[in-house]
């Protein structure tokens, strides 16, 4: 028996509804594959903020530093500004634990209506790799002359050689392992004429070490159009923090719904725990009704199993997800009438 210690942060809104279903399915996979889990539940959230004045305790990172992984729902709720909840919890974990590779699979699944015409399962199957630690999302900058007509705001982008090279290396390694061996880089070196040419330069330099990997690059504006018009062109797509963020919502949007999309925040060197979460947020508009789709959370759990070195268990969860997506039960966002729990139970049974 292998035992994993998992830090569980349900967070806010539907995070609290879908995380239990993720745990249910992982428990089922554990029974089948001889794995046990110790779930350490942490109440860090906007609710915690309103009571304690911070999103997590001051020693929060130290409390989970030695866990095997972090399983997170969603963070953010009306009443606490989104930049406060994000920078108070999610970003400190991603940065403090050097989770620099944000990996988001984009796959058209059976039973999901594709918003793009004439696409069937198998036609769209790629991965967005987003730089998760630096780039455009930086806290360097500030405001001057506030409240006057000279008021100004400046925010600095940060592209370090270390940061750019390690995400490019991660993406090239992934592309090399996949059958198509194709890597696309998102750039904007025409408009963002300092950092993006630098990104392109490092992309070219890194590519020299991967002669088998076919590469191309597109400016982010036309790349978004290609995601919609030619999603079959892509295999692995790498982008900076901002571009990767946008592409990794657009991708799942093109395959039907962000509610089923998973996301892994990886520290590939395994010096720190990695974090697994759905792409979607806390969905305050449907919170409390028990109708949130738990598939994104459960798929994130499958990615966690792979990361923990249990690929067969991860594959079994993914196969159970595919079966339930194809034949139901389905939550209302997918045209069904099932509850969050119905879907979680059906997937757990199918593992
Ligand atoms: P959202 O993803 O929470 O919701 C967008 C729309 O998709 C809503 O209509 C919602 O009902 C629907 N939706 C999302 N997940 C669903 C699911 N599992 N099943 C069925 N429908 C689903 O994004 P929004 O509204 O922009 O953000 C709400 C809050 O969540 C904000 O506070 C935001 O900051 C936070 N957020 C947190 C994220 C995270 O923790 N990683 C990611 C995105 C947003
Ligand atoms: Mg996003």
Whichever domain contains 232, its CATH number is: 3.40.718.10
* Residue owning the nearest CA to atom 26 of ligand 1: 281
| Same structural domain, 80 and 138 | no
- Ligand 2 is an ion; residues with CB less than 5 A from it: 245
Cα–ligand 1 centroid distance for 56 (angstroms):
21
pLDDT digits (tens, 9 = 90+) for 278-287: 999 999 999 9
pLDDT digits (tens, 9 = 90+) for 191-224: 999 999 999 999 999 999 999 999 999 999 999 9
| Same structural domain, 210 and 172 | yes
| Same structural domain, 139 and 236 | yes
- The finding on whether 298 has its CB within 6 A of some atom of ligand 1 is no
- Tokens standing for residue 236: 């692995």
Tell which one of 283, 288, 334 to mutate to probe ligand 1, the residue whose CB is within 8 A of the most ligand atoms.
283
How far, in Å, CA of 129 to CA of 136, rounded? 16
Whether residue 106 lies inside any domain: the answer is no
* Residue owning the nearest CA to atom 10 of ligand 1: 283
> What's the domain range around 10?
1-100+261-351
Whether residue 119 lies inside any domain: the answer is no
| Same structural domain, 83 and 134 | no
Q: Give the number of other CB atoms < 10 A from CB of residue 200.
A: 15
Helix/strand/coil for 37: strand
- The finding on whether 21 has its CB within 6 A of some atom of ligand 1 is no
- The finding on whether 333 has its CB within 6 A of some atom of ligand 1 is yes
| Same structural domain, 166 and 224 | yes
Whether residue 118 lies inside any domain: the answer is no
| Same structural domain, 315 and 242 | no
Tell which one of 244, 280, 347 to mutate to probe ligand 1, the residue whose CB is within 8 A of the most ligand atoms.
280
For every residue of 302-313, DSSP letters joined together read: HHHHHHTT-HHH
| Same structural domain, 239 and 144 | yes
Whether residue 351 lies inside any domain: the answer is yes
Q: Which residues of 164-198 are buried (b: 16+ CB within 10 A; e: fewer)?
A: bebbbbbbbbbbeeeeebbbbbbbbbeebeebbeb
**pLDDT for 258:** 86
How far, in Å, CA of 18 to CA of 24, rounded? 10
- The finding on whether 74 has its CB within 6 A of some atom of ligand 1 is yes
Burial class of residue 118, CB neighbours in 10 A (0-12, 13-18, 19+) = exposed
Strands 152-155 and 141-144: antiparallel
Among 230, 254, 278, which residue terminates a domain? 254
Cα–ligand 2 centroid distance for 59 (angstroms):
26
Nearest atom in ligand 1 to 283's CA: 3
* Residue owning the nearest CA to atom 23 of ligand 1: 281
**pLDDT for 256:** 85
Whether residue 330 lies inside any domain: the answer is yes
pTM equals 0.94
Nearest atom in ligand 1 to 74's CA: 40
Please identify every stretch of the chain with a pLDDT value under 50, giving residue numbers as ranges: none
Count of domains for the chain: 2
| Ligand closest to CA 81 | 1
Among 222, 254, 286, which residue terminates a domain? 254
| Same structural domain, 62 and 164 | no
- The finding on whether 15 has its CB within 6 A of some atom of ligand 1 is no
| Ligand closest to CA 132 | 2
Q: What angle do CA 223, 225, 227 make, to 5 degrees?
A: 70
Q: Residue 293 in contact with residue 343, Cβ under 8 Å? A: yes
- The finding on whether 300 has its CB within 6 A of some atom of ligand 1 is no
**Residue with the two structure tokens 């866990």:** 67
Whether residue 110 lies inside any domain: the answer is no
| Same structural domain, 93 and 136 | no
| Same structural domain, 13 and 92 | yes
Whether residue 57 lies inside any domain: the answer is yes
Whether residue 271 lies inside any domain: the answer is yes
| Same structural domain, 17 and 88 | yes
| Same structural domain, 130 and 232 | yes
Q: Which residues pair with 126 in a beta bridge?
A: 106
Among 211, 234, 254, which residue terminates a domain? 254
| Ligand closest to CA 137 | 2
């Amino acid at each position: 028996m292998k035992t994993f210690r998992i830090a569980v942060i349900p967070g806010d809104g539907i995070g609290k509804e879908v995380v239990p279903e993720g745990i249910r399915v992982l428990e089922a996979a554990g029974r089948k594959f001889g794995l046990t889990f110790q779930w350490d539940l942490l109440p860090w959230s906007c609710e915690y903020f309103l009571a304690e004045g911070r999103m997590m305790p001051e020693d929060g990172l130290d409390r989970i530093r030695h866990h095997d992984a972090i399983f997170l729902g969603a963070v953010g709720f009306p009443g606490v500004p989104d930049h406060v909840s994000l920078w108070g919890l999610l970003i400190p974990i991603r940065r403090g634990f050097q989770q620099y590779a944000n990996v988001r699979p984009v796959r058209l699944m059976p039973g999901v209506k594709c918003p793009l015409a004439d696409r069937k399962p198998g036609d769209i199957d790629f991965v967005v790799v987003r730089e998760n630690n630096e780039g455009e999302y930086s806290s360097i900058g500030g405001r001057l002359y506030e409240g006057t007509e000279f008021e100004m705001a400046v925010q600095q982008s940060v592209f370090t050689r270390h940061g750019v090279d390690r995400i490019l290396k991660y993406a090239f390694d992934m592309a090399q392992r996949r059958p198509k061996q194709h890597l696309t880089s998102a750039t904007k070196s025409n408009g963002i004429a300092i950092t993006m040419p630098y990104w392109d330069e490092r992309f070219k330099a890194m590519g020299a070490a991967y002669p088998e990997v076919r590469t191309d690059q597109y400016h982010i504006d036309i790349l978004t159009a290609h995601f919609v018009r030619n999603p079959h062109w892509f295999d692995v797509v790498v982008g900076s923090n901002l571009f990767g963020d946008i592409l990794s919502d657009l991708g799942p949007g093109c395959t039907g719904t962000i509610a089923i999309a998973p996301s892994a925040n990886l520290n590939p060197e395994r010096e720190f725990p990695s974090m697994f979460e759905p792409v979607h947020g806390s969905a305050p508009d449907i919170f409390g009704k028990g109708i949130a789709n738990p598939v994104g959370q459960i798929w994130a759990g499958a990615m966690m199993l792979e990361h923990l070195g249990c690929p067969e268990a991860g594959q079994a969860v993914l196969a159970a997800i595919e079966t339930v997506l194809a034949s139901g039960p389905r939550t209302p966002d997918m045209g069904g009438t099932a509850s969050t729990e119905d879907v979680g139970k059906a997937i757990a049974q199918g593992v």
